Chains A and B, each alone.
Chain A
Amino acid sequence: KNEVEQSPQNLTAQEGEFITINCSYSVGISALHWLQQHPGGGIVSLFMLSSGKKKHGRLIATINIQEKHSSLHITASHPRDSAVYICAVIPNTGNQFYFGTGTSLTVIP
């Protein structure tokens, strides 16, 4: 059973749309990591957060520790945002990340 659930699994959007990707987890965590996997396979770290909100360019990540939920928002989406977005958590009791299966985003021009 995966401790990290992402929704939706697949998402298609028109260029310019506001996008939300959700991540829910079942255990207490010390940190949550959002990553982006490019169509060619490379994986890049986007955000690491343990509370509140972080913003970088058109990307915003929020986390609600009490509700065990995080969201990744993309404003003014662009075809170059097309990728798989992966959520990962470190449980309070552990020292390794557990990964969701990813949300595949396609942005159509």
Chain B
Amino acid sequence: NAGVTQTPKFRILKIGQSMTLQCTQDMNHNYMYWYRQDPGMGLKLIYYSVGAGITDKGEVPNGYNVSRSTTEDFPLRLELAAPSQTSVYFCASSYAGRQPQHFGDGTRLSIL
């Protein structure tokens, strides 16, 4: 099994550009999450989903959008990239809400 797969691994954007970070999991997990990790800070939850068609905001949702049309996929959309969104983004999944999470390898995003 591949687990949680994120693409791309690295990306540089210009201010104001848009992009989608892709995340897919093959473990049939119901819950999926998007986090950002900034230097010296703990992981912060951006959005999460408890199943296909259901999404909810986390701690830092501003500037991002998500959708969950299938169990496997949970893309994260940045509409108007800003320098404050420079970060490492992690997608994770779990079978249920209070279960261990499985993480992707991360996407390192720089906005210049």
Binding site for B on A (CB under 8 A): 2, 4, 30-31, 33, 35, 40-45, 48, 86, 88, 90, 95-102
Residue of B nearest to A100 (CB): B42
**Complex CA–CA separation, A12 to B42 (angstroms):** 21
Partner of B45 from the list A30, A43, A96, A102 (CB cut-off 8 Å) is A96
**Contact of A99 with B43 at beta-carbon distance under 8 Å, contacts A33-B100, A45-B102 already known:** yes
Interface residues of B in 37-51 (CB under 8 A from A): 40-45, 48
**Complex CA–CA separation, A102 to B90 (angstroms):** 16
Asked if residues A97 and B105 are in contact (CB atoms below 8 Å), the reply is no
Write the nearest CB–CB distance from B6 to chain A, whole angstroms.
Answer: 11
> Which residues of chain A are near B48, meaning CB under 8 Å?
96
Binding site for A on B (CB under 8 A): 33, 40-45, 48, 58-59, 88, 90, 92, 97-103, 105-106, 108
Asked if residues B103 and A42 are in contact (CB atoms below 8 Å), the reply is yes
Partner of A41 from the list B43, B88, B92 (CB cut-off 8 Å) is B88
If A99-B42, A99-B43 are given as contacts, then 8 extra A-B residue pairs at C-beta distance below 8 Å, sorted by A number, are A41-B106, A43-B90, A45-B100, A48-B99, A96-B59, A97-B43, A99-B44, A101-B42
> Which residues of chain B are near A30, meaning CB under 8 Å?
98
